Chains A and B, each alone.
Chain A
């Protein structure tokens, strides 16, 4: 079975600085999808960024980018110019052909003013 690991239960970053959240996963498949979701306090979970495994180019969405290392099964999220609104739980997730969704345990990110 696929597993997703996030080794950093909590992280903090100064406002305007850059932070990287780690994610590793285990799969024997070659074609799959990876996601980062954000869950702000008492608010709905929302998608931050997604990556298709067969695409070598790292995905980027404004201040959010990923470092996808397929051979190492690593999928880290970099947040640049951190803002107070970035404070949330961040979940890394894996999907195989749009099914078998598996979420990691999450990393709580605090942004310090």
Chain B
């Protein structure tokens, strides 16, 4: 069964350092999402791509976060510089195009900033 892949699974970094996360969606899924999930809370949408275009990045802290999906397939989320408050689980999800489509989530990357 096809799955969303994410790497790394765990990342520890010092504050002020740069960190990057990678996501490979299910083949054929045009829509890709990045979420941040703080422990004990629900996921917060950071950015949504339709193919290679950003359709929603209203909650992305653009002074330090960036995301790209250059060829409309895999995606990278970057944080520079990392802050202590960025410690969280970063989830990637993908779906077929359409408003009611099911999102398939990856296992996430747990980031700890020290």
Contact = CB atoms under 8 A, between A and B. Distances in A.
Interface of A: 4, 33, 37, 44-47, 50, 52, 91, 93, 95, 97-106
A47 B100 CA distance: 11
A103 B100 contact: no
Interface in B95-114: 97-108
B55 interface: yes
- Which secondary structure dominates where chain B touches chain A? loop
Contacts, number: 55
B42 A98 contact: no
Main secondary structure of the interface of A (DSSP, over half): strand
Interface string B46-72: 001000000110100000000000000
A44 B91 CA distance: 9
A50 B102 CA distance: 8
